[in-house]
Structure 1
Amino acid sequence: MLDVRNLSKQFGKKPALEEVSFQVGEGQIYGLLGHNGAGKSTTLGIILGMVEPDQGEAIINGVSVQKKRASALRQVGSIFESPCFYEYLSGWENLRILSNYSGPFDKKATEEIVGRVGLTERIGSKVRTYSHGMRQRLALAQALLPMPMVLLLDEPTDGLDPEGIKWFRDFILGLRRERGMTVVFNSHLLAEVEQMCDRVAILKGGKRVFEGKVASVGGDERLFDVDLDPWEEGMRFLELQGCRMIRKGRISIPPEADPAILVAALVGIRVRVSAFSPIRRSLEDLYLEITR
């Protein structure tokens, strides 16, 4: 559904993207991760035709954004950077005006989407009276009005409270389940990305440094959180047994190692073991390892 090919972009002397590529299948939810300045928003801007790449192209359902922008973007809805509305108009009037920019206004479809995002009771109120969460829901309604096949979202949960974040997660998963919609979004909330996404790409300094399935993030590595006293002496012994320190307090042990035997041996050399607990490697662990 979305094919991003060798995107490169430079602003001044600083490269924002360097040959970034990835593909998103129909009905997938795909996450773009990276620190501020990593190239996430530049990538979305190129996909939306708002930023011209120095090299490469973005293809949506077989149509190149760079060659046939209007045709490609007819299939896309988006929230890019901070959504803006006419503050002195109601939410309904904003949707009517903004919809007319790209096609005829469909009252019935708009009523359905407004109900879907939970704004029916306030859609007649002026936007200046909306909370941040309500503005995000209005932006989501606007993005869905073209009935897109692909939804692109730039930091959609930024500034939302935990209840709003959960609502957004359930909403997006529902769109995929009911309509088979393809969703691409970037976020700093790694736990949310891990719960929602099928695949992720991690950008660092404009380069793609990881791309893969979220389900495979854990890998086959056996990780343990440990608390040893003295730490240095305990770690020296564990390294002789083939263990590896990920960071202080977290180690990886070889597949053949028995944690119970390791603990007994540590106690035998008078190292106090307060914790030796198996953990599952998370997306956050992977992200921190790569970006550090």
Structure 2
Amino acid sequence: MLDVRNLHKQFGKNPALEEVSFQVGEGQVYGLLGHNGAGKSTTLGIILGMVEPDKGEATIDGVSVQKSRSTALRNVGAIFESPCFYEYLSGWENLRILSNYSGPFDKKATEEVVGKVGLTDRIGSKVTTYSHGMRQRLALAQSLLPMPKVLLLDEPTDGLDPEGIKWFRDFILGLRKELGMTVVFNSHQLSEVEQMCDRIAILKEGKRVFEGKVSSVAGDERIYEVDMDPWEEGMHFLELQGCRVIREGRISIPPKADPAILVAALVGIRVRVSAFSPMRRSLEDLYLEITK
């Protein structure tokens, strides 16, 4: 459904993207991860035709955004950067005006979308009275008119409370289940990305440094959470046994290593071991390994 190939973009002397490629299948939920300035928003901007790449191309359902933007984006909805509304108008009036920019206003479809995002009771209120979470829901409603095949979201959970984040997660997974919608979004909420996404790409300084299934993140590596004192002395011994530091407090041990023997050996060299527990490798572990 979405094919991004060899994107390169330079602002001044600094490259924002360097040969970034990835593909998103129909009905997938795909996450873009990376630190601030890694190139996530630039990538979405190119997909939406709002940023012109120096090299490369993005195609949606086989149509090039760079060659035929209006056709390519016909079935795309998006929240890009901070959504803006007419503060002195109601949520309903905003949706009516903004919908008319791209086509005729459909009252019935709008009512259905407003109900989906849970704004029916407040859609007649002025936007100036909306909370941040309500504004995000209104932006989501706008992006779903008309109901697109592809939804592109730029930091959609930024600033939301835990309840709002959970609502968003359930909503997006519901869109995929009910409508087969393809969703691409970037986020700093790693736990949410891990729960929602089928595949992810991690960008670092404009380069794609990882791409793959979220289910493959755990891998076969044996990860242990370790608390010992002194840490440096204990870790020096463990590294001699083939162990590897992921970050302080978390290590990887070799496939054939026996944790009980390692703990006994640490105690034998007078390292106090308070914890040595098996852990599932998380997306956070992978992300920190790659970005640091």
TM-score calculated relative to the size of structure 2? 0.98
User: What's the secondary structure of 2:227's corresponding residue?
Assistant: strand
Deviation at 1:12, TM superposition (A): 1.2
Contact 2:80 2:153 in 1 (8 A): yes
Deviation at 1:233, TM superposition (A): 3.0
Deviation at 1:88, TM superposition (A): 1.1
Deviation at 1:267, TM superposition (A): 2.2
Following the alignment from structure 1 to structure 2, what is the Cα–Cα distance between the partners of residues 43 and 241? 43
Contact 1:74 1:146 in 2 (8 A): no
Contact 1:201 1:210 in 2 (8 A): yes
The code of the aligned residue for 2:174 comes to: G
Which residues of 2 match residues 200-215 of structure 1 at below 5 A?
Answer: 200-215=200-215
| 2:47 matches 1:66 | no
Segments of 4+ moved more than 3 angstroms: none
2:242 corresponds in structure 1 to 242
1:4 corresponds in structure 2 to 4
| 2:226 matches 1:226 | yes
1:83 corresponds in structure 2 to 83
CA deviation map 1:188-242 (0-9, x unaligned): 1111111111111011111111111111111111111112223233223222222
Contact 1:229 1:271 in 2 (8 A): yes
1:36 corresponds in structure 2 to 36
Following the alignment from structure 1 to structure 2, what is the Cα–Cα distance between the partners of residues 231 and 130? 50
2:279 corresponds in structure 1 to 279
Contact 1:151 1:183 in 2 (8 A): yes
Unaligned runs of 5+ in 1: none
Deviation at 1:147, TM superposition (A): 1.1
Unaligned runs of 5+ in 2: none
| RMSD over equivalenced CA pairs, Å | 1.0
The code of the aligned residue for 1:192 comes to: E
Following the alignment from structure 2 to structure 1, what is the Cα–Cα distance between the partners of residues 236 and 34? 34
1:193 corresponds in structure 2 to 193
CA deviation map 1:246-267 (0-9, x unaligned): 2332211110011112112222
1:262 corresponds in structure 2 to 262
User: What's the secondary structure of 2:142's corresponding residue?
Assistant: helix
1:147 corresponds in structure 2 to 147
TM-score calculated relative to the size of structure 1? 0.98
Following the alignment from structure 1 to structure 2, what is the Cα–Cα distance between the partners of residues 239 and 5? 40
CA deviation map 1:95-129 (0-9, x unaligned): 11111111111111110100010000110111111
User: More deviation in 77-86 or 232-241?
Assistant: 232-241
Following the alignment from structure 1 to structure 2, what is the Cα–Cα distance between the partners of residues 52 and 145? 25
Following the alignment from structure 1 to structure 2, what is the Cα–Cα distance between the partners of residues 291 and 189? 15
Following the alignment from structure 1 to structure 2, what is the Cα–Cα distance between the partners of residues 190 and 237? 32
User: What's the secondary structure of 1:67's corresponding residue?
Assistant: coil
Which residues of 2 match residues 52-201 of structure 1 at below 5 A?
Answer: 52-201=52-201
Contact 1:96 1:105 in 2 (8 A): yes
CA deviation map 1:128-163 (0-9, x unaligned): 111111110000000001210000000001111111
User: What's the secondary structure of 1:99's corresponding residue?
Assistant: helix
Deviation at 1:31, TM superposition (A): 0.4
User: More deviation in 243-252 or 197-206?
Assistant: 243-252
Deviation at 1:87, TM superposition (A): 1.0
User: What's the secondary structure of 1:281's corresponding residue?
Assistant: coil
Deviation at 1:19, TM superposition (A): 0.8
Following the alignment from structure 1 to structure 2, what is the Cα–Cα distance between the partners of residues 165 and 232? 39
Following the alignment from structure 1 to structure 2, what is the Cα–Cα distance between the partners of residues 55 and 76? 22
